[in-house]
A and B are shown apart, each in its own frame.
Chain A
Amino acid sequence: KQEVTQIPAALSVPEGENLVLNCSFTDSAIYNLQWFRQDPGKGLTSLLLIQSSQREQTSGRLNASLDKSSGRSTLYIAASQPGDSATYLCAPHGQNFVFGPGTRLSVLP
């Protein structure tokens, strides 16, 4: 059974900092891994999808890497902004998507 952990659980940083959010999963038999953001009281917004054959994927200030063999993915946020404040969830996709508990990010102006 896939188990997903995310570190740190919460993070508070001043605006402009570069950030690293970590995701670990126990079962490396996955098709892909997806990163989402969730604003309070809202649904999940897809940020990046990394296929199992890829090592990384980039979208704007976001870069996600995947090391399937070691069961790890990292989301890198460059030059953080207050609008980046949200909860970030990773979800490796094997038989189904399994979600981590999330990292709650606060970027202070």
Chain B
Amino acid sequence: SQTIHQWPATLVQPVGSPLSLECTVEGTSNPNLYWYRQAAGRGLQLLFYSVGIGQISSEVPQNLSASRPQDRQFILSSKKLLLSDSGFYLCAWKGLANTGELFFGEGSRLTVL
């Protein structure tokens, strides 16, 4: 069966520090991968999605970037964090079919101080 892992689960970082959140999927090949952010009191916002290795689409211009160095690995990064980057970051995957189901990881809570 397929599983999705995110880490770290919780992170407290100072303003201006770098960020790296990692997501890996097991039990499937060629998944579509997604990074979402859920800010306090707000809905889920799609940040990035990827349909293959090295292929990244950005939905929202911002202080963040994403990379997909391997088929089942998706990384969210920042060179210098802002206070507004605080939130709950969720990785998700879906099979290649347009009719496929979306599955989420447990999330990474980032607090920028």
B39 within 8 A of A: no
A93 to B92, CA, bound (A): 14
A46 within 8 A of B: yes
The residue that A100 contacts in the complex, of B43, B98, B102, with Cβ under 8 A, is: B43
> A87-109: which residues lie under 8 A (CB-CB) from chain B?
89, 91, 93, 96-102
Does the CB pair B102–A93 fall under 8 Å? yes
Does the CB pair A49–B101 fall under 8 Å? yes
Given contacts A42-B106, A42-B107, A96-B49, contact A101 B99 (CB under 8 A): no
Does the CB pair A43–B46 fall under 8 Å? no
Given contacts A89-B44, A101-B43, contact A46 B99 (CB under 8 A): no
A99 to B105, CA, bound (A): 16
The residue that B44 contacts in the complex, of A31, A46, A93, A99, with Cβ under 8 A, is: A99
Q: Which chain B residues lie closer than 8 Å to A91 at the CB level?
A: 102
Q: How large is the interface on A (under 10, 10 to 19, 20 to 34, 35 or more residues)?
A: 20 to 34
Q: Which chain A residues lie closer than 8 Å to B101 at the CB level?
A: 34, 46, 49
Chain B proximity mask over A64-96: 1 for CB below 8 Å, otherwise 0: 000000000000000000000000010101001
The residue that A32 contacts in the complex, of B88, B99, B105, B109, with Cβ under 8 A, is: B99
A60 to B36, CA, bound (A): 29
B21 within 8 A of A: no
Does the CB pair A43–B43 fall under 8 Å? no
* Least CB separation from A91: chain B residue: B102
B7 within 8 A of A: no
Given contacts A101-B43, A102-B43, contact A31 B99 (CB under 8 A): yes
Least Cβ distance of B32 to chain A in Å?
A: 10
- Seen from chain B, the residues whose Cβ lies within 8 Å of a Cβ on chain A are 6, 34, 36, 43-44, 46, 49, 59, 88, 90, 92, 98-99, 101-107, 109
Closest 10 pairs between A and B when the two form their complex, measured CB to CB: A99-B44, A43-B104, A44-B104, A43-B106, A31-B98, A43-B107, A49-B101, A101-B43, A31-B99, A99-B43
- Seen from chain A, the residues whose Cβ lies within 8 Å of a Cβ on chain B are 31-32, 34, 36, 41-46, 49, 51-52, 89, 91, 93, 96-102
